[in-house]
Amino acid sequence: MTATTDLPYDFRIIVGTYERLLYGIDAIRTTSPDAPPSTALPLSLNPVFIYPAHISCIKAAAATHRFLATGSTDEHIKLYDLRLRKEVGTLMHHSGSITCLVFYKKTHLFTASEDGAISIVRTSDWEVLKTLDGHKRAVNWIDVHPSGKVLLSVGGDQTLKCWDLAKAACTYSMKLPKVAERVCWSPSGDRYAVLMNTTVQIYTIADGELVGTVDRIGRINSVRFCNLANADGVVEEVVITGGEDRAIAVWDATGNRIMRWDSGHANRIKDIDAIVPEDSNPTHTTVIATCSSDGGIKVWDLASVKTHIASNAAATVTPAVTTDATIATTTSTTIRKPKEILSTPPPVTEYNAKCRLTCLVIAPPPAKPTRKQLAQRQALADDKASTLDADAYRSEPESDYEDLIPKPRIEVSFESDDAEKPVTATVSTPSKKRKAAASETAETPAAADKAKKQKPSGPAKKGKKAKLQKQADKATKGAAKGRGKQAALAKFQSMKK
């Protein structure tokens, strides 16, 4: 995972692909956040990393301001540190394809798989704390309540289950009319939405009643609950959907349509995510990002989209065209359903990954450091600076291998024919010794004087006599060696006879 920029960003879009690649794209504000409210939120997309994360297609992703987790059909979950931009580990506790990943704040990661299990992982040491077993088939999707006390899950067994995370037990199970693909909580936690192929059902948790339904728009691939602020500053919870018809729709909490527009994608919409950027204008509070199978990533500002649709007649109805040939070939009058023409507002910005995208998640920007963290960083910087200054002006050696005692010099004199030119030899001790050894073996001045006064252990040899003695010893050794060979040869011959 190699970074190409260190610029501050408003949020980061992370997408997975069928080609096993992981894309990281920063959304950076191009003008001041104090821009006039009538101006659309100006953003630019800057790719920061492209990484081959898995050996199979990536199916799920989740992110916080620091950590990123990705799941694949290879049954592995890869973990990354977005601040350090490096891979930190792999989770292999599932025995099926990973279907969904959800972070709760920065403390826990929830994982779901086709093996029917839901796992709770602690992010401090990435240890699996609990495993929730209850679905008889694959778990398709999970979502954690904003309070962190309850979790909803839907699976291939056509059930919706509610889990008490404090007890790690299932407290409620409901049979659904169809197999559900997704489930999501509202930001307030008062409602939840369930996606079943072409239908989205909205329930309340107060009485469990069905309060809204979204249908008759074709197959829906993604659903997301988020907040939407009106021009007067009133915030309401809305449901955003995207599917096979390449259209994006915004619905209120009871299933009534607020707006719907053509995304301009060349293929189906695979995933949607939403975020409320920090320090944004009141009318620019909600930004959504969509990804498609055509490789396109588009970012939309819901306030500017709403303004564009209102000013350009959001939808027009065209009557069915009936020709004379049609009247002649039909015996009865056929009334065709009017076709809705959707508006196509321009996105705030877009990016083409040139890959088949599968999932999308928006990571918030890094959290601003607190006063305590700033004080700790300043203290560490001061300590480091003082250490560098001390090293620069250090006068005493700090290494155990630095010699604290001068190298002793031992002089040995040999007598020679020329008395005026004594021959001296200097012997130096090794320079790298430990301090303890140096202190133990160091001689005192009194001992050195005593050693100087001592006489040599043996008489000194003269130069010519020593040379002649050496030659005589060599000749004697050679003769002895020759006599030994002759004796051995004679013994061998006698044994042969």
Question: For residue 481, is pLDDT > 70?
Answer: no
H or E stretch covering 465: helix 463-496
Mean pLDDT of the chain: 79
DSSP secondary structure string, 208-248?
Answer: --EEEEE-SS--EEEEEEEEEE-TTS-EEEEEEEEETT-EE
Report pLDDT for 132.
Answer: 95
- pLDDT value at residue 477: 66
- The pTM (predicted TM-score) of the whole model is 0.69
What pLDDT is attached to residue 333?
47
How many C-alpha atoms does 125 have within 13 Å on its Cβ side? 3
Per mean pLDDT, which range of 105-109, 173-177, 323-327, 383-387 is the poorest?
Answer: 323-327
Give the pLDDT confidence score for residue 399 in this predicted structure. 44
Backbone phi, then psi, for 324, in 5-degree steps? -65, -35
- The mean pLDDT value for 84-92 works out to 92
In this prediction, residue 3 has a pLDDT band, given cuts at 50, 70 and 90, of very low
pLDDT at 154 over 60: yes
CA 178 – CA 281 distance, rounded (Å) = 41
Lowest-pLDDT range of 70-84, 277-291, 307-321: 307-321
pLDDT digits (tens, 9 = 90+) for 436-480: 444 444 455 555 555 555 545 444 445 666 777 777 777 666 665
Query: Could you tell me which residues are beta bridge partners of residue 4?
Result: none
pLDDT band at 391 (very low <50, low <70, confident <90, very high): low
- Closest residue by Cα to residue 486 from 475, 474, 471, 478: 478
Instruction: Give the count of beta carbons closer than 10 Å to the beta carbon of residue 172.
Output: 12
233-242 tens-digit pLDDT: 778 899 999 9
The mean-pLDDT minimum among 154-158, 204-208, 232-236 falls in: 232-236
The two tokens of residue 43 are: 């953003």
DSSP string, 252-298: ETTS-EEEEEE---SS-EEEEEEE--TT--GGG--EEEEEETTSEEE
Give the CATH number of domain 11-367; options: 3.40.50.2300, 2.130.10.10, 2.70.70.10, 3.60.110.10. Answer: 2.130.10.10
| 393-397 mean pLDDT | 49
Q: Are 104 and 139 in contact (CB under 8 A)?
A: no
Q: Give me the pLDDT at residue 331, please.
A: 43
**How much is the pLDDT for 5?**
44
Question: In angstroms, rounded to a whole number, what is the distance separating the alpha carbons of residues 129 and 108?
Answer: 10
Greater model confidence, 5 or 163: 163
Between residues 94 and 232, the one the model is more confident about = 94
Q: Is 423 exposed, middle or buried (0-12, 13-18, 19+ CB in 10 A)?
A: exposed
Span 353-377, average pLDDT: 82
Distances (CA, A) of 217 to 61, 242, 322, 336, 482: 27, 10, 25, 17, 114
Q: Which of 317, 308, 384 is nearest to 346 (CA)?
A: 308
125: left (phi over 0), alpha (psi -120 to 50) or beta: alpha
Terminal-residue alpha carbon distance, the chain: 88
Residues 260/266/271/274 CA torsion (nearest 10 deg): -50
Report pLDDT for 276. 79
Amino acid at position 165, single letter: L
**In angstroms, what is the C-alpha Rg of the chain?**
42
Instruction: Supply the pLDDT for residue 470.
Output: 76
Looking only at the bridges linking them, the beta strands covering 247-252 and 257-262 are antiparallel
Query: What is the residue type of 417?
Result: D
Domain boundaries, the chain: 11-367
